[in-house]
C-alpha cells in the first residue's frame, strides 16, 4: 500500500486549477446525451465517479460542431446545451472533483446519418462509418472550425468546466491531420510532420484562447496509430515538442490506435466481435463488420500499463506534465509511474468496473482493479449507456 502522503493522493496543479489527486477518469463515450444534450443519467454517471474519489473526471467527446459527431447521442456545444453542462459541472464540484470536457471533431469518421451534416476530412477518403467519400476541408472550412474550437472552449468554461482536453488521437479530425494515412494534402497543412501538425496546433491554440486562462488545456495525443502507414512515435514526439514550444498545453495524455483501422490497439484484451455485431441495428454495417473484422478488429494481448514503454520516450522529450494511460489497474503501477516522472495516471475500464476504486486505494482496502478486460463495455455505449457488464452480472445474481 502506498502511503496517503504519496503524490498520487495529494493535490496537484493542472495549469490554472488544482485537482485533489493525480487520478484521472479518462474519457469513455457514455452514450447518455440524448439529442446531444446532457441528461440526468450523464450527470449521475460523472457524479458517481467524482464521489468515488478521482481528482478529475472527463466528459467524453464533446463535438465543437454538429457535423462532428459519430453518434446521435453525443454532446455538441451550443446554447441549448449550456444549462445541462452547467448542472453537470456543479454536480461534480459538489463531490469535490474537477471536470474536463474532451473537445474535438470526428472529421471524415463522423456519421452523417446521425448528424445530418457533411462528411469532411483533411483529404478525400472513403469513410467506413459514413459509407461514402469525405470532402477535403478548404480554407473557409478550416477557419470555421478554428472559430468553433474557440467558441466551444469559451462556452464550456462559462459552464464551469475546469479543463479542456483537445482530442488529437484515435483517428478523429485533428489526428487525421497528423496521420500520413489520412492527410494527403499538398498545402501548408500536409507533407512532413511540421506541416501535418499545423492545423492541430492552431486548434489547440484556439482552445487556449477560448479558455481565458481560467481552465487547464490538455491534449490527448496519439503516440502511434498502430499500423505501418499511420502516425509513428518519432513524429508524435515532434508534435509534443511543438505543443510545448507553443505554450498551449498544461498536460499531454498519451494514447494510441486509430478507430477506423486499429480500434483494439487502444483497448487490448478480448475482442467482443459477436456482441458488437449483434448490437449493430443496420444490416449492411453488421455484414461489413463481420467481413472486415479480421483486419479492423484485430486484437492485441492485454498487459498492464501497455503504453508505458512508448510513453517513456516523451518523458525524455518534453517537460509538459504527462498523463499515463493504458490498462492501469494496480496501485503499485500508479505509484511507480509517478515516481518515474509521469504527472498523472488516467484510467477508464478500471473505473467503469469500480467507480469507488480511488477511495478504496487510498483507504488501503484494495490494491488493484478487478476488471478482466473483456471489453464488452464498448458494446453497451449505444444500448443503455456505457457500463461494466461484470457489474451487470453481479447485480442480476443479487436480484435473484
Q: At what angle do helices 233-246 and 198-211 cross, to 10 degrees?
A: 40
In 10 A of CB 83, how many CB atoms? 12
Q: How far apart are CA 284 and CA 361, in angstroms?
A: 45
Q: Which of 61, 71, 172, 189 is catalytic?
A: 172
Q: Provide the sign of the torsion angle of the four alpha carbons 314, 315, 318, 321, taken in this order.
A: positive
What nine digits make up the cell of 312?
Answer: 517513456
CB 165 within 8 A of CB 218: yes
CB 127 within 8 A of CB 119: yes
Q: How far apart are CA 223 and CA 277, in angstroms?
A: 29
Buried b (16+ CB within 10 A) or exposed e, 127-158: bbbbeeebebbeeeebeebbebbbbbbbbbbe
Catalytic, 172? Answer: yes
What nine digits make up the cell of 30?
Answer: 457514455
By annotation, the residues acting in catalysis are 172
Amino acid at each position: 500500500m502506498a502511503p496517503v502522503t504519496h503524490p498520487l493522493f495529494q493535490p496537484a496543479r493542472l495549469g490554472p486549477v488544482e485537482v485533489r489527486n493525480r487520478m484521472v477518469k479518462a474519457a469513455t463515450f457514455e452514450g447518455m446525451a440524448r439529442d446531444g444534450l446532457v441528461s440526468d443519467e450523464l450527470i449521475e454517471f460523472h457524479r458517481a465517479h467524482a464521489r468515488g474519489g478521482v481528482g478529475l473526471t472527463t466528459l467524453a467527446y464533446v463535438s465543437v460542431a454538429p457535423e462532428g459527431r459519430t453518434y446521435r447521442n453525443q454532446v455538441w456545444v451550443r446554447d441549448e446545451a449550456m444549462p445541462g453542462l452547467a448542472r453537470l459541472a456543479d454536480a461534480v464540484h459538489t463531490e469535490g472533483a474537477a471536470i474536463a470536457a474532451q473537445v474535438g471533431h470526428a472529421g471524415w469518421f463522423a456519421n452523417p446519418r446521425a448528424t445530418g451534416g457533411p462528411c469532411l476530412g483533411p483529404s478525400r477518403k472513403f469513410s467506413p462509418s459514413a459509407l461514402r467519400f469525405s470532402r477535403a476541408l478548404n480554407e473557409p472550412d478550416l477557419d470555421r472550425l478554428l472559430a468553433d474550437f474557440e467558441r466551444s472552449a469559451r462556452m464550456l468554461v462559462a459552464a464551469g468546466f475546469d479543463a479542456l482536453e483537445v482530442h488529437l488521437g484515435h483517428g478523429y479530425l485533428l489526428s487525421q491531420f497528423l496521420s500520413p494515412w489520412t492527410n494527403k494534402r499538398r498545402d501548408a497543412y500536409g507533407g512532413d510532420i511540421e506541416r501535418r501538425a499545423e492545423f492541430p496546433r492552431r486548434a489547440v491554440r484556439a482552445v487556449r484562447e477560448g479558455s481565458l486562462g481560467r481552465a487547464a488545456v490538455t491534449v490527448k495525443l496519439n503516440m502511434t496509430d498502430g499500423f505501418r502507414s499511420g502516425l509513428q512515435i518519432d513524429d508524435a514526439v515532434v508534435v509534443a515538442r511543438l505543443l510545448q514550444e507553443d505554450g498551449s498545453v498544461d498536460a499531454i495524455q498519451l494514447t494510441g490506435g486509430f478507430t477506423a483501422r486499429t480500434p483494439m490497439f487502444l483497448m487490448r484484451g478480448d475482442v467482443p466481435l459477436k456482441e458488437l455485431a449483434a448490437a449493430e441495428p443496420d444490416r449492411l454495417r453488421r455484414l461489413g463488420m463481420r467481413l472486415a473484422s479480421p483486419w479492423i478488429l484485430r486484437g492485441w494481448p492485454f498487459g498492464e500499463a501497455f503504453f508505458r514503454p512508448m510513453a517513456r520516450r516523451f518523458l525524455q522529450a518534453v517537460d509538459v506534465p504527462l498523463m499515463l494511460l493504458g490498462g492501469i489497474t494496480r496501485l503499485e503501477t500508479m505509484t511507480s509511474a509517478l515516481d518515474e516522472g509521469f504527472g498523472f495516471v488516467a484510467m477508464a475500464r478500471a473505473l467503469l468496473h469500480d467507480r469507488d476504486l480511488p477511495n478504496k486505494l487510498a483507504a488501503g482496502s484494495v490494491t488493484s482493479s478487478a476488471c478482466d478486460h473483456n471489453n464488452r463495455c464498448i458494446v453497451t455505449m449505444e444500448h443503455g449507456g456505457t457500463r461494466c457488464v461484470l457489474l451487470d452480472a453481479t447485480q442480476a445474481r443479487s436480484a435473484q
